[in-house]
Structures are given as structure tokens and as C-alpha cells.
Amino acid sequence: MERHIEELLAGLVACNSVNPAWAEGPGEGDVCQHISTVLSSMGLKPEIHEVKDGRTNVVCTIPGRGNAPGLMLNAHVDVVGVEGMDEPFTLHRKGDKLYGRGAYDMKGSAAVMLGLAENFAAESPPGDVHLTFVCDEEDLSIGMEHLMGDWLTSLDEPPAAAIILEPTEEQIGICHKGFAWYEIEIKGKAAHGSRPEEGVDAITPLGAVISDITTIGDELANAKPHPLLGHSSLHVGTVKGGMNLPVIAAESRIDWERRILPGENEDQLDAEFQRVVSTARGVAGRATITAKKLFSRPPMATPESADIVRRIKQVTQDSELAGMSYWADSALAAEAGIPAVLFGPIGHGAHAIDEWVSVSSLERVYKVILTVIFEMGSAPN
């Protein structure tokens, strides 16, 4: 099975599926067609769903032989850019490490799912297994949004749980933070640097805004931490402004990100946002302030007592329950009412030039999930 998973992963890595948000990548079309071809060769019936403008998901439901709870397995098939990498779309092995763009994040997990599909094609699982391969996780998650909308509502019965195979170092991820992105634009009036009185400086107010964001960050760092995720946070992501040294800046912009803990509510986030906006307006003088929330995604938390958590823990007793530092599509599954857990392989270098995944870990993840699925028909201990 080790060699087979490696071969499956080589085929996936060979498909350039760089997200268009990263260096104008081609998207997921080729890799989704490849996945569909592999699944069809097993006698299964995959479907390619166009999400938007050529962006695609692949879904494949394997009917169960009995009435065990249905389970959704999920991996995203888009990858980030490849600048600085040599042969990013050719899988290389060095000992236990498989190198290539997406090997760790997260085509290795997609290869595990294809390996499981081959097993289920030969021996039906006790309940329905939904294999879902989605686009765009590395940007706005339009693939998972589509999956939890059109696809989910088309089912006679939703999955009882979801395993998101993000790389977790074989930990059992039961929670992660959400995030929100905010923006303030300041518009002033350009003038020659020797005549500042004729202009309205759009950059100077940013000092107070950054100071206020920093203060809120300090307050969050001193609040009670989450037992698995630590503290919520916020940071300035981008600052833009000005056109030339001898010119009073007519425009500036600041964007910042807030990481959100499970249990934090919108009222708190809105209050923080309005606090920063009030600071900006208080120091803007004659400049005009425009502020808005750009985008947000919810946090996720699945109880330790959830059936799917107990089942995975029962099979892999050495794996610890953990909070993941990153956001993942699991939050959208949970938001749609599907208890979700993250469980995936050991590796290194997500978004880095030395990305690799452990082939022995892929094998262990395969065996754990296979065991969990075939035990879905019985009660967990």
C-alpha cells in the first residue's frame, strides 16, 4: 500500500493546480479531471461539479452495504505558488520524505482518499462514504461553500460526521480559530511637500490606527486563553499610501486581520472594529475615512465527546486531541451541522519551497481512517 499511495500522490502532484489567487495559477481543472479518471477506473461514479468559472470540485459517494452512519472525507486540491522550487510538479522521494508542491498541503491526503476508494470499490463500507475533493481552500474556500450548499442539500441524508484530512501531524484536531479581515481607507488631498498647508495628509492618521490595533492585540494577549488554541489576536497585514517623497499623500489604506476563538461573538468583534474606526476619525482632521469588513470565516470546535472524535481516538490512542493553528474548511462543515474533525499526516513546509510529507505517516493515516470507517457500524468504546 505504501508504494501505491506514493504512485497516487505522484499523479496528483504532477497536475499543476496552483490557485489563481497565487501567481495567476491555472486552478484545479486538471487535477479534478485526473481524480475523476482514477476513481472511474475503479468502477466508481465520480462527479465533477463546476463551482465558478472553471473552478471545480469532485465528489464520489460510495454506497454502504448497511445502515451505519454516513461519513464525509474531505481534502482540498488547490496548492499555493511554486516560486523558488525546482521541479515542483515532480514527486521526489528521499528516505521517508516525499517532496513536491502540495505533497503535504494536502495532496498526500487526497492520495489517501483515493487509496481508500480502491478498498471500498472492492469491499463496500458499512455506511455511505462521501469522498469530496474541493477547490480554493487556499483563498476564499468557494469549493467548500458550494459543497456545503448545493451538494449537501441534494443528499437524501447528510453525513453524520466529516474527517477533514488536513495535515495535523497525526493529532486529532477538534478546534481551530476563525478570522476576519478589515480595511480602513483614508482620502486626503495631494500637495507639494514644501506647501503642506495646501494638502490634507492621508498617512499621518495611520499612526494612531496602528497604535490602537496594537493596544487591542495586547488586551487579547492578556485575556484568558483557550485551553487548546491559546489567545485570539490581531495584526496589521498591509499598509499602503503615498506616491512620492516630495508629495503630501492623498490616499492611504490599512488592512488588518483578527483571529477568532470559538465562543467569541460578533458583538465583541464589531465593538473592536468600531473602536479602531473611531480612533481613525478622531485624528483624520479634514481627511475622509471609509471603513469596512472585507471577509470572515468562523472558528470551529467539536466536543471531545462527539462520536467521530471518540472513534478516531479509539483507533489511534497515541494521537492527542489538539487545536490547529490554521483555519480550515472544517469550519464550514461544522457550520452546516456536520460534526467535523481534522486528522492527517506528518510533514513539513506548507507554503514553503521544501514541502514534504512522510510516506509512512500517509500509510498510518490510511489505516486509521479505514479502521474507523469499517467500525462505524458498531458503537465506540
Q: Average the pLDDT over 227-247 and give the result.
A: 97
Question: Per residue in 78-124, pLDDT tens?
Answer: 999 999 999 999 999 999 999 999 999 999 999 999 999 999 999 99
On the question of pLDDT at 381 being above 80, the answer is no
On the question of pLDDT at 245 being above 80, the answer is yes
Question: Per residue in 264-289, pLDDT tens?
Answer: 999 999 999 999 999 999 999 999 99
- How high does pLDDT run on average in the chain? 97
pTM, full prediction:
0.95
Q: Which residues contact 161 (CB under 8 A, 6 or more apart)?
A: 69, 71, 72, 306, 307, 308, 338, 339, 340, 341
DSSP 3-state of 261: coil
Q: Please tell me the predicted confidence (pLDDT) of residue 2.
A: 64
Peptide bond into 324 cis (omega under 30): no
- For 85-153, the DSSP string reads -SSTTS-EEETTEEESTTIIIIIHHHHHHHHHHHHHHHS--SS-EEEEEES-TTTT-HHHHHIIIIIHH
Nine cell digits for residue 266 = 460578533
Question: Per residue in 317-360, pLDDT tens?
Answer: 899 999 999 999 999 999 999 999 999 999 999 999 999 999 99
Length in residues, the chain: 381
At 23, is the pLDDT very low, low, confident or very high (cuts 50, 70, 90)? confident
On the question of pLDDT at 380 being above 90, the answer is no
Q: Please tell me the predicted confidence (pLDDT) of residue 372.
A: 97
Structural domains in the chain plus CATH codes: 2-175+299-374 (3.40.630.10), 178-297 (3.30.70.360)
Tell me phi and psi for residue 321, to 5 degrees: -75, 135
Point out which residues pair with 289 in neighbouring strands: 186
Question: Per residue in 131-162, pLDDT tens?
Answer: 999 999 999 999 999 999 999 999 999 999 99
